Amino acid sequence: MRIFKYPFVITESQFIQLSKDAQILSVQLQFDIPCLWALIDENKPLESRRLIIHGTGNPIDSMDNESYLGTIQMKEGQFVWHIFISKKEF
């Protein structure tokens, strides 16, 4: 097992490839770049998981299949983003 870093962009949703049963450890900024860290098993197959990003105050249609990962702030707190991941594989 290893811990891997997955940089991502601030957009409504995007897909990342994680090993099956990966354990997501944290979402934070590193040098102003949003990143996700996960403990993965390189021997397990990859699955596509959807990251969903909601800005504070923005409308949210549904959160039935989302798990909260964390919140990050950018531009000295001007922008606050709440990061979720889909519970299902795509």
In the chain, domain spans: 2-86
The whole-angstrom distance between residue 5's C-alpha and the CA centroid of its chain comes to 11
Task: List the structure tokens of 67.
Answer: 């798990």
pLDDT of the residue at 16: 95
Percent of the chain with pLDDT over 70: 98
Give 26's Cβ-side CA count (13 Å radius).
Answer: 6
Count of residues in the chain: 90
Lowest mean pLDDT segment, chosen from 3-12, 35-44, 64-73: 64-73
Strands 2-7 and 79-86 come out as unpaired
Q: What is the pTM of this model?
A: 0.89
* 17 vs 45: CA distance, rounded Å: 10
What average pLDDT does the segment 38-44 reach?
Answer: 96
- The chain-wide mean pLDDT, for the chain, equals 93
pLDDT of the residue at 39: 98
